[in-house]
Amino acid sequence: MLILAHRGASFEAPENTLAAFQRALDAHADGIEIDIMQVGDEIYVFHDRYLRRLAAQPGRFQDLTNEQIGKLRVFNQQPVPTLEEALAFIAGRCLLNIELKSEVDSTRLSRALNRAQSELGFQPEQLLVSSFNHHWLRNLQPQQPNIRYGALLAGCLLDYAACASELGAYSVHLDVDFIDQAFVDDAHSRGLQVYVYTVDEPEDILGLQAMGVDGIFANHPQHARQVIDGL
């Protein structure tokens, strides 16, 4: 079962920052999950629509100027990376799951993904783009047919398989609250990988492993690895 560091190793360092990515690499996480949003003509790694939780100020992230974002410090500590900076930092050293949190210019995103593959050491199968908004995934697909796509599901939708099939998805990503053996078996019978978010409790980690889940998103990948290894 793969361990993907959720927003980087976000238990140990401010989420979605280079510091959290370094902690994930130090923990030998199989992959890193990041959230991206576009502001103006730049794509940033940032999770929240509002600034209160991450930057202790009012207002919306996407209302900031690029200059203001340059001065932001996540949890008063770490700068907000651009997608380009994140790609250059991770540089193919592990899998990368890019979750689209806002609509992004698919041409711009595709350019960044092309550079990731041609200059930064990523193989196409190391790049997994996911979103709860499946329209956004479909917009990107014609430009990036060789990378992987993950259908994020907020729950067990009746028509999830049709949706995943229409997207040509590699994986479905489901909340730990809704996962069960029947879902895992059904998804596997359709050739879909099953990734589960967000998982830090030992009981959950071991239970999901026993179900045959293919990957988990963990805030504390080092701890997850120890649980799996029985340490």
Residues 54-93 that bind ligand G3P (CB under 6 A): none
Site for ligand G3P in 139-198 (CB under 6 A): 152, 173, 197-198
CB burial of residue 13 (10 Å; 0-12, 13-18, 19+): buried
200 makes contact with ligand G3P (CB under 6 A): no
One residue of 31, 44, 87, 99 binding ligand G3P per CB under 6 A:
99
Supply φ then ψ for residue 209, to 5 degrees: -60, -45
Q: Which residue is nearest to ligand G3P (CB)?
A: 197
What is the rounded CA–CA span in Å between residue 208 and residue 205? Answer: 5
| 15 near ligand G3P, judged by CB under 6 A | no
Instruction: Report the residue closest to Ca ion, judged by CB.
Output: 99
> Cα 216 from chain centroid?
11
Q: List the one residue from 46, 122, 149, 217 that touches ligand G3P (CB under 6 A).
A: 217
Using the rule CB under 6 A, is 11 a contact of ligand G3P?
no
One character per residue 124-143, x = contact with ligand G3P (rule: CB under 6 A): ------x-------------
Rounded CA-CA distance 128/167 in Å is: 13
CA 92 to chain centre: 15
For 110-130, letters b (16+ CB in 10 Å) and e give: bebbeebbeebebeeebbbbb
Give which of 52, 67, 66, 144 is closest to 100, Cα–Cα: 144
**Contact status: 15 vs Ca ion (CB under 5 A):** no
Query: At closest approach, how far in Å is the CB of 150 from ligand G3P?
Result: 8
Q: Residues in the site for ligand G3P, rule: CB under 6 A?
A: 6, 33, 35, 47, 99, 130, 152, 173, 197-198, 217
Q: Residues in the site for Ca ion, rule: CB under 5 A?
A: 35, 99
